[in-house]
Homo-oligomer: A and B are copies of this chain.
Amino acid sequence: MSTTLPTPFRLTAVDGPDQPEPTPALEHLYRGFEQELLVPLWTEIGDLMPLHPRSRAVPHLWRWERLVELAARAGDLVPVGRGGERRAIALANPTLAGRPFATPTLWAAIQYLMPGEDAPEHRHTQHAFRFVVEGEGVWTVVGGDPVPMRRGDFLPQAGWNWHAHHNATDAPMAWIDGLDIPLQHLTEAQFFEFGREEISDAERIEPERSRSERLWGHPGLRPLAASAGSRGTPLLAYRWEHTDRALTDQLRLEQEGFGGTVEAGHAAVRFTNPADGSDVLPTIRAEFHRVVRGAETTPVRETGSSVYQVFDGSGTVTVGDQRWSVTRGDLFVVPSWEPFSARSEAGRTDSDAGHLDLFRFSDAPVFEALGLDRTQKDSR
């Protein structure tokens, strides 16, 4: 049992339009409430039952350049090993009390692995993924299956799978980790186990593709021998070549007059579990959006929160009343019910195509599972 001590708290009778008259009798009553650990609804209702979600988090942007710089310094100063487990540095939303929570439910961190380094094996109920905005040469060993990581790849890993990381190259590598750590912290669901100290020699040999891709990476084809399996996708890598091709196909279909895009100039895919078409992870949705040069997406509000990373191109993104110019690697958060839109614009790091490519992850599956999802399109 926790040994946390009770927090003394004090109820204050205030003079307000919907509040009872602050008389001595009321003060006496409030002292009784405090003594019995009770809090009335009428003093809290505005905070707890607002007319629409008002997030404790705020929109915020982190520059990739600064993240990589600090991560590289951590590479020199902070060893990776048992106990600390990972050289991961998390985004801390400005208004979430210094906790490493990008949003109230989502964790986003830059992870950094030095040449030849290993991050030790463990497993946890938290659902996780990796997304690679630049570099290659690391692979993650998931349940004994080495999964190479390269620019543009999305690598999900459902909770309770053993995993370790291995950098086989002579260069450091950085990528982002997304997890549902805050959600599982808030709901108090999490379990953790330490695994092997070292991965095997066989697991150190770079594979062409992971075994999961060889079984599950063929479009519309299910291996007959596959067991139903646990929750979360059995496919451990979604390669950039497929994502890029799918987005290109959507935009060409639009050009040919057939639709296929979300709206004009805005292509998007969701990463899904090939076994059942559901989200890759029970608590995390992952998507890739492409906005063509000059296009702007319709502002949308949704219950639940998102983290975006700019994968390529540059442009302007608007979250609530914040607006930022963004470029490759930049990360930003969209709190619950804040309207979001993105505009693709010319910038210095653009690829030839000049599209704005955005990777996104969110807690949408939680809201859908509980029937709490709502969406509203704002007029621009």
A170 CB within 8 Å of chain B = no
Q: Which residues on the B side are within 8 Å of A353 (C-beta)?
A: none
- Cβ contacts A253-285/B at 8 Å (1 or 0 each): 100001111100000111111111100101100
Q: Which 4 pairs from chain A and chain B are nearest by CB?
A: A18-B83, A9-B98, A42-B84, A6-B94
Q: Which residue of B lies closest to A60 (CB)?
A: B37
Q: Known: A73-B29, A190-B49. Contact between A78 and B42, CB under 8 A?
A: yes
| Bound Cα distance A289, B223 (Å) | 10
Known contacts A53-B188, A187-B363, A187-B367: does B91 contact A260 (CB below 8 Å)?
Answer: no
Residues on B with C-beta less than 8 A from A233 are 220
Prevailing SS type, chain A contact patch: loop
Given A33-B70, A189-B367, A217-B220, are A38 and B274 also a contact pair (CB < 8 Å)? no
- Copies per complex? 4
Tell yes or no: A342 within 8 A of B by CB.
no
Partner of A94, one of B7, B159, B185, B243: B7
Among A133-141, A307-315, A331-339, the stretch that binds chain B is A331-339
- Find out whether the CB atom of A223 lies under 8 angstroms from the CB atom of B246: yes
Q: Mark A1-38, 1 if CB is under 8 A from B, else 0.
A: 11011111110000001111001011001001100111
Q: Is the CB of B56 within 8 A of A2?
A: yes
* A214 CA / B242 CA spacing, docked (Å): 11
CA distance A252 to B374 in the complex (A): 37
Q: Are the C-beta atoms of B303 and A189 separated by less than 8 Å?
A: yes
Number of interface residues of A (CB under 8 A): 156
Please state if B276 and A276 are interface contacts (CB–CB under 8 Å): yes
Q: Is the CB of A214 within 8 A of B90?
A: no
In the bound complex, residues from chain B placing their C-beta under 8 Å from that of A19 are 84
Within the complex, the shortest CB–CB distance from A95 to chain B, in Å, comes to: 4
Q: Considering residues A41, A83, A374, which has the most beta carbons from chain B within 10 angstroms of its beta carbon?
A: A41
Partner of A42, one of B1, B76, B85, B217: B85
B231 near A218 with CB under 8 A, answer: no
**Contact at A235–B214, with CB atoms within 8 Å?**
no
Q: What's the Cα separation between A183 and B338 when bound, in Å?
A: 19
Output the least CB separation between A232 and chain B (Å). 8
Closest to A40 in B: B89
Could you tell me if B372 and A184 are in contact, using CB atoms closer than 8 angstroms?
yes
Q: Is A250 located at the chain interface by the 8 A CB criterion? A: yes
Which residues on the B side are within 8 Å of A305 (C-beta)?
188
